Each structure stands twice: as C-alpha cells, then as structure tokens.
Structure 1
Amino acid sequence: MKLIIEDKIFEQYPEVILGVAVLHNIDNKGNHPEVADLLRSAEKSALENMGNIPIVEQPFIIPWREAYRKFGAKPKDYPSSIENLLRRTFKGEQVRHINKLVDIYNVISLKYLVPVGGEDLAKIEGNVLLTFAGDNETPVVLLGEQEARPPYPNEVIYKDNQGTICRRWNWKEVDRTKLTEQTVNAFIVIEGLPPIDREKIQKAVTELVELIKKYCGGEIQTAILDKSNPQVKLL
C-alpha cells in the first residue's frame, strides 16, 4: 500500500510538495488538556501571523485559491482546509476537539499555515492516489453530510480502490476513512505550494511527529514527496 502523487498532478502543479507521516500502533483514545492549550496557542499565532491582511490576500492562501480555480472550484464556496480553519479562527470561533490526532494536525496547520489532513489506514483499500477525478467516480459521503455524491470530473482528489477519500484536493474528507479514537494505524499529509517550501514542510513534519509521539505514542516514519520522489509506502 502506497501514497502516490500521479504524474498528471505535477503537469499542472509542478512545485507541489507533501510531508507525510505514517503512524503505527498509536493510542488516539481520550483527550489531553495540553493539546487543547496547543490549539488555543496556534489560533493566536495564526491571527498574529496574518496581521491586518485579509485572508484571501495572504501569500500562503493565494496559491491554493489559484490551484482550486485551475480545476474549476470556486475558492469562495469551496475553501482549502487551511483557509476554512482561518476563516473560523478570524471570526473568533475556537477549533473544536475531535480527537487527539485531528487536534494535533490542526495545531500544525494553524502554526505553519498549511493544509493538513489524515486518514485511518485500516479503512484504506489499495494505494492512495493524489490525482484528477475521472468521469465516473463512485459517489461518496463527506464528513457531516448524509447524501453520497461523486466528485466532478477533473477535480483534484485523493482516492483509493474503493473511491474518493478527499474532495477538491483538501476541501473536505469522506466519512469512510476518518480518524477516530479507535484509530491505531494512520497517515497524515501536510501540503505545500510555493511560497511554502521544502524546509517549512520538513519543520512542520518534525513538530507533528514530536507531538504525536508525546500524546499518542506509536512508531512513525516520515517522507517528503515531490516530483523527484512521488510515492511512499504506507503499509
């Protein structure tokens, strides 16, 4: 089982870079007050880093909005996951507790201003591809929704043998592969487009691993994926 960035993604987005952490034998049960404190601190840090510049004009948000437009998604209606987090934070909403892993990756997302997501490896079938949706993708139920709907053709998606895992690149994940307190094996992906570079992605991965080891334990392998190294073993 591998995570693979398909060549056609690099044709449209040649400088995309992914930081990947593969987790085994973790304990994701319960909550930890320190993780909640880290989230509050990350929210404050994100607001300070944005200053008085509107979210849509932030240099780390503009590339994602442009990427979404390339595959036909309106970023106003379908914001990237980091833009969505920042919108809520800017309104004064606290990022709500989901589980330790999700809380930790939200800390990293806000601190480094990058999209971050994760999936339960026990619920994955076959390889995971970052690719463009075809004409006849299987309808999927997204988090927080009831109705199954397919991605649009040419939309950037993550998918496995069973179907889409995340729609509109990092806009919204499916319910099927979500991280829960019962998750034991998982993978986390940190995504970057310029001006986010390899060094910043590596720093984000390093801190992600430190936090997961501290609060969830387990064994963790990491990789940086780009055009020269487009895949990593997950299982």
Structure 2
Amino acid sequence: MPTTLTVHADVRARFPQLRVELVVATGLDNTGHWPDAESALAAAEADAATGALTWSEDDPAIASWHAAYRAFGTNPRRTRPSVDALLRRLVRQGRLPRVNGAVDAYNATSVRFAVPAGAFDLDRLGANVQIRPATADDRFTPLGEPDEVETPGAGEVVYAQGTEVLTRHWNHRDAHLTRVQEATTSAVFMLERVSADVPAERLAGAAAHLATLLTPHAAAVTSTTLTAEATGVRLDTAAGHALP
C-alpha cells in the first residue's frame, strides 16, 4: 500500500523554509556487515578527533533547529534535535553507536553533513503520514521501550499516522514500531532542514551520500524532495513521487 507523506498547513506556515530529502530503499538486505557504512562512521570519528568535524550550538545548522524547537515549546538543551545530540556525542565521546547497516549509514550521513537524519520501516507505515502539531489524542511508544506510552505535548511537531506518533519533537526520538531493524526490507530515510541557513545543496549532497551507502544493499534506491510548497509526496515501494 503506498504511503503519502504530507506537511500540515500550520507547520508549513510556521516553517516555510522546511525541506526534507527522502531516500527510499527497497529490496533492502539490512543483515550482516556494511563495510562502507562502517568506514563512513570511522572517518567521522577520525575527523572529530582531529577537529575537522566539530559541534557548536552556534552552528546555524544546529541553531536553526534550536529555534524551531523553542517555537513549538520544547527546550532544545533538555531535549536535543537528533543532529545536535549525535554530533555532540561524537565530539565529546569520540565514537558513534553501531546499530545496523542502514541506521549506521544515516547516522554517518547526519554527522558528515550536519543535518538530522532518520528512517521508517516502509512496511510499517499506513496510507497517510503527516508532519503536524501533536494533539491530545496522540500516543507515542519510544524506541526500545515497547511497553511505554507517552503523550506528546500539544503543538509539539511530530511525524504521525492517525493518532500514532512516529517521532517526538520532530526528530528527537523515533517510535519503536516503525524503527529500521535487521529484518527491514523497505525503508524511507528523511534528511531535514528547517531553515535556509542549511542550503538545499547540502541536503541534496547528504541524500546522495546516503544513497551511495544504501545502494550495494538494496534492489532499488530512489529519492524525492518534500518542501513547504509541495502538497505531499507519495512513497511507493519502487520510488518516491511528488504530488502535483
């Protein structure tokens, strides 16, 4: 069943420069070792050690997300945007987590290009997913905590299908059900900006980098772009199509 990803009118109005590069991988083999993803993680760790990769809250790529979080009522120093948390961890600890090939690929891409990156198991998505403000009826089950249920704060920006929230605080934390795991065979990856402080070319470069890491392990890798001006994007199992 095709999934359509849309942006709620309120989010489009408040964040008119938002842009999401979407990479769809089908026929995915997410088992075993991904040498290129491991190399990309190791290269990021080496660059952090020499100061070639840095972290700062003053970096426009991070500061723009802090501003967005504050705009919908989240303290970004207590609940950090994903790219902020990952880069901060890399610089302070010198190492990135190893999860599975696909997750490692998007984490390596996130720190290399300083953009938030995430993914959903495409087979776990319904017909309609939306980036929208949370409502009182919404519920969220955090990644790694399948028995926990949270209620997002009203107005917090989330990815959601129906009342099932797929991410808290836009990109802070993913849901357990739609996580990308070794058994995942189709996935959609999101690379995001919320401000023109991050050039569209950087997002496009991040999408190309991620696609290169995914391609040896997938039957097909395609991409498309969602913006505040677009009505939405349909994510087929074979490709992404922007809706007119």
TM-score > 0.5 by shorter chain = yes
Q: Deviations over 1:201-220 (max 9, x none)?
A: 11111121111002x12212
2:152 alignment partner in structure 1: 151
**TM-score scaled by length of structure 2:** 0.89
**SS at 1:151's partner residue?**
coil
> For the residues of structure 2 that align with 1:56 and 1:167, how far apart are their CA atoms?
20
**TM-score scaled by length of structure 1:** 0.92
Question: Which one of the candidate residues 29, 37, 48 is aligned to 1:35?
Answer: 37
Aligned residue pairs, count: 230
Give, in angstroms, the shift of residue 33 of structure 1. Answer: 3.4
Letter of the aligned partner of 2:148 in structure 1? E
Structure 1 outlier segments of 4+, above 6 Å: none
> For the residues of structure 2 that align with 1:16 and 1:97, how far apart are their CA atoms?
29
**1:158·1:165 contact (CA, 8 Å) conserved in 2?**
yes
**SS at 2:198's partner residue?**
coil
**2:132·2:157 contact (CA, 8 Å) conserved in 1?**
yes
Flag structure 1 segments of 5+ consecutive residues without an equivalent.
Answer: none
Q: Deviations over 1:57-87 (max 9, x none)?
A: 1221100000000010001110000001011
> For the residues of structure 2 that align with 1:148 and 1:92, how far apart are their CA atoms?
30
1:76 alignment partner in structure 2: 77
Larger mean CA deviation between 204-213 and 75-84 belongs to 204-213
1:226 alignment partner in structure 2: 227
1:196 alignment partner in structure 2: 198
Larger mean CA deviation between 220-229 and 70-79 belongs to 220-229
Q: How does 1:57-136 map to 2 (within 5 A)?
A: 57-136=58-137
Give identity over the alignment, percent. Answer: 27
Letter of the aligned partner of 2:96 in structure 1? V
**SS at 1:56's partner residue?**
coil
1:4 alignment partner in structure 2: 6
Q: How does 1:151-230 map to 2 (within 5 A)?
A: 151-161=152-162, 163-192=164-193, 193-214=195-216, 216-230=217-231
**SS at 1:118's partner residue?**
strand
Q: Deviations over 1:158-193 (max 9, x none)?
A: 011350000100000010100011101110000013
> For the residues of structure 2 that align with 1:234 and 1:34, how far apart are their CA atoms?
26
2:242 alignment partner in structure 1: none
Give, in angstroms, the shift of residue 4 of structure 1. Answer: 1.1
Letter of the aligned partner of 1:10 in structure 2? R
> For the residues of structure 2 that align with 1:35 and 1:187, how far apart are their CA atoms?
17
Provide the alpha-carbon RMSD of the alignment: 1.5
Letter of the aligned partner of 2:116 in structure 1? P
